[in-house]
A = this chain, B = another copy of it.
Amino acid sequence: MKNSLFNNICGASVPGVNEFKTSNYLKKNQPIFREGGIPRGVFCINKGKVKIFTIGEEGKEQIIHVAKEGEIVGFRALFSDEPYRVSATTLDESNLCFVSKEFFFNLVDTNKALRDSIMKELSTELADRAVFITNMAQKSVRERLAFSLIFLDDVYDGEMINLSRDDLANFVGTATETLIRLLKEFKTDALIKTYARKIKLLDKVTILKISSSQ
């Protein structure tokens, strides 16, 4: 886990953390927090993947991010001192630990390095989201799918991408049917191979090319 944020908050070396953190096992598709809920602390992902999403006006999910082992989720809402504006749900069996707001803020106030990491993290994500917005606005669904596959391949690291078609469509920002049709095209073009819902990338170079407009 190279993520310094994680180590600075949940790592064994953080003084006192063991008395304060609680460990939770969660099954697949369990909510971690919900839009509108009151934040009481942060969650560190020890194992499993977590989707971060908003619910659009029509009730459709838009997945903003897929977080993996070593990431911290839910700290943004603590700073803005408002109810959650996004929701988080496990995608697999997961193991999270919870660190209370009080303990977290105490860390932040006393540890400049942690503060700097957090500022950096927030700023970087802000720029990432600017790119995300641009992709949504300007790229075709086909291009966005390619982009998403590259992103998810990284999140799933060695393993195959393992999301429901609905979740994948909600990440790409399209209808499930459209997603399936495009996956089929990618399959016939030998860019990917599917094993039930799992997806393996065969030709990352071409996929990357597609993701950057043609």
Report which A residues bind B (CB closer than 8 A).
Answer: 52, 54, 56-58, 60, 62, 64, 76-82, 85-86, 109, 112, 115-116, 118-120, 122-127, 129-139, 173, 212-213
Contacts and interface: CB of A to CB of B under 8 A. Distances in A.
7 contacts: A54-B130, A62-B133, A62-B137, A64-B133, A76-B127, A80-B123, A122-B123
Q: How many copies does the complex hold?
A: 2
Contacts of A134: 54, 56, 62, 64
> 9 tightest A-B contacts by CB?
A137-B173, A136-B136, A85-B127, A129-B129, A80-B123, A79-B123, A62-B134, A56-B138, A57-B213
Interface of chain A, main secondary structure = helix
B123 A60 contact: no
Contacts of A81: 120
A126 B132 CA distance: 12
